[in-house]
């Protein structure tokens, strides 16, 4: 709980500074996470473990101080279940996306000036971040790591990105 509060404070500090510094822009803010811990199964679309469901609730707690405008998730049980608590806590529907079919330029245009949570997979979220920032900076996430939080802010004349880890 203390760790969630600390992450929430970091998020507020980071996004409390940039809009003042870059007041001439209408920045988009993106929070990107991998799905929480899933059941190990031969099923291609497994559900979350109990631990994963608890992590999904924790993500909602971490992000409660952020006013989200939209929540995006791939159309899998584990990603939807990870996104659901944050979406519900903010009264939002989840928008489904396909990571290999998304038009990133259109996505950025559609979300300009908005604050968005994006939930995906170990091999799609880093690529999504890289597409947003225009760099090949972040590698795939290790399979035992469900705690990365990527934060990206895109303004008219700047790009800011960071990676935090929440246990």
What CATH number does residue 147 fall under? 3.40.50.1240
Res 20: pLDDT? 45
pLDDT > 90 in the chain, percent: 83
Residue with tokens 């489904």: 96
pLDDT tens digits, 65-100: 999 999 999 999 999 999 999 999 999 999 999 999
- Beta-bridged to residue 70, according to DSSP, are 116
User: CB burial class (10 A; 0-12, 13-18, 19+) of residue 63?
Assistant: buried
Confidence band, pLDDT 50/70/90 cuts, at residue 58: very high
CA–CA dist 10, 16 (Å, integer): 10
Q: Mean pLDDT lowest for which of 2-16, 73-87, 114-128?
A: 2-16
Burial (Cβ within 10 Å: 0-12, 13-18, ≥19) of residue 131: middle
Q: How far apart are CA 110 and CA 138, in angstroms?
A: 24
Q: How many independent structural domains does the chain possess?
A: 1
The domain of 77 spans 2-165
Q: Quick check: 37 and 146 in contact, CB under 8 A?
A: yes
* pLDDT at site 142: 97
């Amino acid at each position: 709980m203390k760790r969630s509060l600390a992450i929430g404070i970091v998020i507020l500090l980071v996004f409390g500074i940039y809009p003042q510094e870059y007041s001439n822009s209408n920045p988009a803010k993106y929070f990107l996470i991998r799905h929480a811990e899933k059941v190990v199964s031969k099923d291609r679309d497994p559900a979350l473990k109990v631990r994963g469901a608890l992590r999904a609730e924790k993500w909602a707690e971490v992000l409660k101080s952020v006013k989200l405008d939209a929540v995006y998730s791939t159309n899998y049980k584990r990603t939807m279940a990870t996104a659901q608590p944050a979406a519900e806590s903010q009264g939002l529907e989840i928008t489904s996306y396909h990571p290999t079919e998304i038009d990133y330029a259109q996505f950025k245009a559609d979300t300009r000036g908005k604050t968005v949570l994006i939930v995906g997979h170990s091999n799609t979220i880093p690529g999504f971040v890289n597409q947003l920032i225009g760099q090949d900076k972040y590698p795939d996430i290790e399979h035992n790591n469900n705690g990365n939080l990527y934060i990206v802010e895109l303004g008219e004349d700047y790009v800011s990105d960071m990676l935090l880890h929440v246990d």
